[in-house]
Structure 1
Amino acid sequence: MEGSNKKKLSFSERIKNAPKSKWIKFGIMAVLCLLFVYWSDYYLVLILIPIFFDSYILKYFPWAFWKKSKNPTFRKVMDWVDAIVFALAVAYVVTTFFFQNYQIPSSSLEKTLLVGDFLCVSKVSFGARSPMTPLSFPLAQHTLPFFNTKSYIEKPQIEYKRLKGTGQVKRSDIVVFNYPSGDTVALHKQNQDYYALCKEYGRDVVWSNKREFGDIVYRPVDRRENYVKRCVGLPGEFIELKDDDIYINDNKIARPKNMQLYYYIQTDGTAISKKLFTELGISEEDYVKIGFYSTKELITNNPNTVIPDSIYRDLGFEVKDGGNVGNIHTRVSLTQEMVDILKSKPFVWKIITQNSYYKKMGKLTGHKIEQDFVYPLTYNLHCQFGDFPKLWIPKSGATIKFDTDVDYKVAAYERCIKNYEHNDFKYEDGKVYINGQPVDSYTFIYDYYFMMGDNRDNSADSRAWGFVPEDHIVGRPMFIWLSLDKDKGWFSGKIRWNRLFTSAIKD
């Protein structure tokens, strides 16, 4: 009878009979909705206010109809369904607009951020993006675990919009972003860049050999893999690398404190122990890459070859009394602090960067040791390790002229114009056509950024795959809430306690 009488109550009676606690709850939810609309300009969210009003005050609709069921099993199941749906809805809102968990999967930022660091990433720092692919499963980036199927429906796609944030991307910020080259993926080689695969094997081979490469799929911007790197180049700047140093507009900028390079370590013949490398913080992944050679074997592949002492010195190595040239550890990932520690060891004679060794060896032999995958890949550009040719970073509202070096400009900026800013782009007979019209210039819509890892010689970054458009920016890591060392067991130091709840904002 009570439920029947309640249904017959008038509008004014329902308002009058609503408990004060319900009014308080409704008021809180309404204010939160209004604040969210003010922040986001999503006026559609206002539709939630009448829904909350009915749920808390009027109760015209039976939002919790199952609670009146006489079947206890049904009530229990529906209580769980209600809790799960609510949790997923909250997770969707929180991870879309406020915060997201991110785990460091690779060593490209070591020793600044380590493999196994779990980060709390703030999307408010740079302003959250509106949901570009709204029909997606919360907490799954692009693939549903266990089912191995897409976690999203591609349509509809909502136009990119960034909400108000507390700041903008600045130089040296560590940034989480969607991997730009992840727009196309070979499913059997998801950990490899599709465009690098096409360069290495040929596009026809990648598309036709499904046994090796799998299906080739396209992913929307916000469903691409999340990467984390350091922003080193800002929109409108010229960036260049020379001898492991970054130059912005021809001015050298400071290196990050924990930047790593590959080094060659010359010793008196002593093999540096794994224990010492572990004490320095070198992971198992990095340790297995380390080579140990006689200096002569490294240079000639024949330890019996007689080499003038001047050759060793030209390469940067020491020659001791009696012609002793010792042994060499190669590809050792070190920060400057680690280098200083090793230099203090009496058995260590010389430490030089791998890039320096390659360049000196190239001068001696006349054969440069160069990188194969240098952006733009289609230009087949080569440069020596530790270098990167000067490149202009596109800026919103800035115009590029196709008057000189057109081949290079097309290779460098076609992807921005075509893939990121969604224009039809063709280059034929030395002439650029955009949206079917011949043009001699183009004005960019987005800002772009140049991202690099601190582990300079072991990082796939903008030097290989190019710029990060502003619509790919996800957020800024704020703190490390968990850190697990994959080389250790649970009872032998797996949890890095000294990193828990420490700042992820590192220079």
Structure 2
Amino acid sequence: MKLKFWQKDKGAAPKIKKTKSREWFDAIVFAVIAATIIRVFFIEAYTIPTGSMEKSLLIGDFLFVSKVNYGARIPMTPVAFPFAHHTMPITGTKAYWDGVQWKYRRLPGIQEIKRNDVVVFNFPDGDTVALEAQDRDYYEMVRSAGWQAVHSQYTVTSRPVDKRENYIKRCIGISGDVMSMSNGLVSINGKAEPMKNTGQIDYTVKFKSSDVNFSVFEEMGFIIERDIMAVSQDTYNFIGTPEMMDRVKKLDFVASVTTRTAKPGEAEPSIFPQDPNRKWNADNWGPIQIPKKGWTVKLDSATMPLYKRAIEVYEGNKLEKVAGGWMINGVKTDSYTFKMNYFWMMGDNRHNSLDSRYWGFVPEDHIVGKALFIWMSYSTEGSFFNKIRWSRIFRGIH
């Protein structure tokens, strides 16, 4: 017997039409999954909350950061609430569950991190946090106030690598580089690297008289009472880029322009590696060799202050001081071979930046991505429409 091809199969179940609420639910689930995949593996939006990268990046800039350039990092804490970093926006509770932790893995990237790249990374000192003072470095708080005072006053917790605060700085040194700084000038592998025109530092400017028309400086891009502060009647402290200060030097009413930096040998206790035997400050430090994967360092009293945290915390080894040397994971040794690459990050606003000068190396497993371009920028000053910095929209980051 022949069956007609159009004859309905009487055994087939009737198709159930989705309700409107079910359609909305499915659409939301799909959107969340798609957005999460894009954020984790391709591109993510960030904002600039502080002035540590001025003049290149301003407070109120919104950036797109590429995960593809250096290779997307596989989530190390996979169980987390979508679109929240480490804290739920309303309840203030943790936005992740650290009961499941995956080891560090990264997809292949299209480039290696280069010097002068603007990089987003997880704050290396953010493994321990005082919740009521999250904008402060826990370790610096302990050094200044003591462990007991901090733990009695604040709620202290730990965070996995990928749930630590996101920072953005410029990569000044890559793995294997030997870094130093003298009178505010960075040297890499023995070669002085003058600050680029995106960077700024403090200068002392002396005028020939106290009668100065400061509107000239506003036209150059300085902000009065922020970038220019009075020291005396004819002397002012300027914060500017080398290019801006070259223009100031050429003004006929300017007597002199000098870089204002700390003196060599004036110890600043908060400077990495917080070693009393090293009389370093933010403008004068080094030399420091940045660890590189496969590099072996000799363990002694000179190197351990520099590399102890990297060996113990970042690379997860049990480190013990014993008579005549060190033990790593129960084995006595006088050397260590690094398993990861490290980087040296600094802000462009050199005298207003918490960076590697204070907490040292950034391990490769903390790297989030490369800053690509500004998609929106607004100022806190002016009318609503004038707050938008139109000239910065879709501006590339260099």
Q: After TM superposition, is the score higher than 0.5? A: yes
Q: 1:235·1:447 contact (CA, 8 Å) conserved in 2?
A: yes
- Corresponding residue of 1:38: none
Cα distance in 1 for residues equivalent to 2:131 and 2:109: 35
- Corresponding residue of 1:502: 395
Give 2:231's match in structure 1, choosing from 283, 286, 293. 293
Give 2:190's match in structure 1, choosing from 224, 238, 250. 250
Asked which structure has the greater RCO (Cα within 8 Å, sep 6+), the reply is 2
| Structure 1 pair 466–384 and aligned structure 2 pair: CA distance change class (3 A) | closer
**Counterparts of 1:134-145 in structure 2 under 5 Å?**
134-145=78-89
Q: Which has the higher helix share?
A: 1
Q: CA RMSD in A?
A: 2.4
- Corresponding residue of 1:217: 157
- Corresponding residue of 2:314: 420
> Which structure has the greater CA radius of gyration?
1
Cα distance in 1 for residues equivalent to 2:51 and 2:122: 18
Give 1:382's match in structure 2, choosing from 279, 301, 324. 279
Consecutive unaligned residues in structure 2, runs of 5 or more: 1-7
Q: Percent identity?
A: 41
| Structure 1 pair 489–426 and aligned structure 2 pair: CA distance change class (3 A) | farther
Q: CA deviation at 1:407?
A: 2.4
Q: Deviation string for 1:78-127 (max 9, x for gaps)?
A: 33322222211111111111101111111111111111111111000000
Q: Deviation string for 1:216-237 (max 9, x for gaps)?
A: 1111111111111111111112
Cα distance in 2 for residues equivalent to 1:375 and 1:161: 28
Consecutive unaligned residues in structure 1, runs of 5 or more: 9-61, 69-74, 295-325, 363-367
- Corresponding residue of 1:6: 12
Q: 1:142·1:152 contact (CA, 8 Å) conserved in 2?
A: yes
- Corresponding residue of 2:3: none
Give 1:353's match in structure 2, choosing from 248, 259, 266. 259
Cα distance in 1 for residues equivalent to 2:387 and 2:164: 30
Q: CA deviation at 1:151?
A: 0.9
Cα distance in 2 for residues equivalent to 1:119 and 1:374: 30
Return the TM-score normalized by structure 2. 0.91
- Corresponding residue of 1:160: 104
Return the TM-score normalized by structure 1. 0.72
Q: 2:115·2:174 contact (CA, 8 Å) conserved in 1?
A: yes
| Structure 1 pair 150–282 and aligned structure 2 pair: CA distance change class (3 A) | farther
- Corresponding residue of 1:307: none
Cα distance in 2 for residues equivalent to 1:204 and 1:369: 29
- Corresponding residue of 2:75: 131
- Corresponding residue of 2:241: 335
| Structure 1 pair 293–478 and aligned structure 2 pair: CA distance change class (3 A) | closer
Cα distance in 2 for residues equivalent to 1:271 and 1:187: 47
| Structure 1 pair 77–418 and aligned structure 2 pair: CA distance change class (3 A) | same
Give 2:123's match in structure 1, choosing from 179, 184, 189. 179
The answer to whether the aligner puts 1:462 opposite 2:356 as a matched pair is: yes
Q: CA deviation at 1:327?
A: 2.1
Q: 2:298·2:334 contact (CA, 8 Å) conserved in 1?
A: yes
The answer to whether the aligner puts 1:104 opposite 2:54 as a matched pair is: no
**Larger mean Cα displacement after TM superposition, 275-284 or 374-383:** 275-284
Cα distance in 1 for residues equivalent to 2:85 and 2:23: 28
Q: CA deviation at 1:5?
A: 4.2
Partner-residue secondary structure (3-state), 2:186? strand
- Corresponding residue of 1:270: 211
Give 1:241's match in structure 2, choosing from 173, 181, 193. 181
